[in-house]
Amino acid sequence: MSGRKLDSLIDEQHELAKQLVLEDRFGAIMTVAGADQAFLGDRVISAIVVCSYRSMDSMYIVERAHHVSKAGFPYIPTFLSFREAPPILHAWKRLRNEPDILLVDGQGIAHPRGIGLASHLGVLLDAPTIGIAKSWLFGGFRQPKAVGRASRLTAGGRQIGWVLLTRRGCNPIYISPGNKVSIESSLVITRRCLAGHRLPEPSRLAHLHANEVKQSLREE
């Protein structure tokens, strides 16, 4: 991809970042969804699982949706939104129950230009989103040393998220607000969605659903 094309995408990211709202703009939370993706050749499998926002011990699945499409954009670090956001939007349109909060497998504002996948989607959907990333992309932090402990993720002298150790023997997860959710609430909501696994339960279930669809496609 040409440098000129990437420059135009950077400009688009900067414009989207200006639209972010990094404070709580949601009411009572009844449902939380997880969005995750799997890949099979040139196909992208986007899955969303909507869960009740109770104690995760008594959580139940409200709805599942998925969409399969061909990847329309190459894999380029820090530009993943242009590859992964469109398929997630298609899956979102298939939901009958719009969730109050969406947990996205990816970064929120913990991104070099402040507009990771969760933030990008949050602006396009005009919805509260939180980035739940499995790996580090941007910012500095001290490694949390105990399960349940969170360290601040910072860049340029300001906090952009959290690094939360959720399970012994696993790497931490990287939490950052996407849109319409504050730094503080992004951690509170994520913690409440934990159920003994590395990922919050809606995210884990979306990951499983995406891979179930992937397996079914392999068997066709």
pLDDT in tens, 156-178: 999 999 999 999 999 999 999 99
- Inform me whether the pLDDT recorded for 92 exceeds 80: yes
pLDDT in tens, 6-39: 999 999 999 999 999 999 999 999 999 999 999 9
Give the span between the Cα atoms of 196 and 54, in whole angstroms: 15
Residue-range domain boundaries for the chain:
3-218
Mean pLDDT value across the chain:
95
Give the span between the Cα atoms of 131 and 109, in whole angstroms: 8
- Tell me the C-alpha to C-alpha distance, in Å, between residue 197 and each of 36, 126, 166, 167: 16, 29, 7, 6
Query: What is the CATH code of the structural domain delimited by 3-218?
Result: 3.30.2170.10
Q: Which two tokens stand for residue 144?
A: 């949390």
What pairing do the DSSP bridges indicate for beta strands 31-40 and 101-104? parallel
pLDDT in tens, 93-115: 999 989 999 999 999 999 999 99
pTM of the model: 0.95
Residue with tokens 């590859």: 83
User: In what helix (H) or strand (E) does residue 62 lie, and over which residues does it extend?
Assistant: strand 61-70
Confidence of residue 4 (pLDDT cuts 50, 70, 90): low
Predicted confidence at residue 219, as pLDDT, reads 86
Nearest one of 115, 113, 88, 83 to 102, comparing CA atoms: 88
Give the span between the Cα atoms of 103 and 21, in whole angstroms: 16
Q: What is the length of the chain?
A: 220
Nearest one of 192, 17, 18, 37 to 101, comparing CA atoms: 192
CB atoms closer than 10 angstroms to residue 5: 9
Q: Which two tokens stand for residue 175?
A: 């939490």
pLDDT in tens, 75-90: 999 999 999 999 999 9
135-141 average pLDDT score: 97
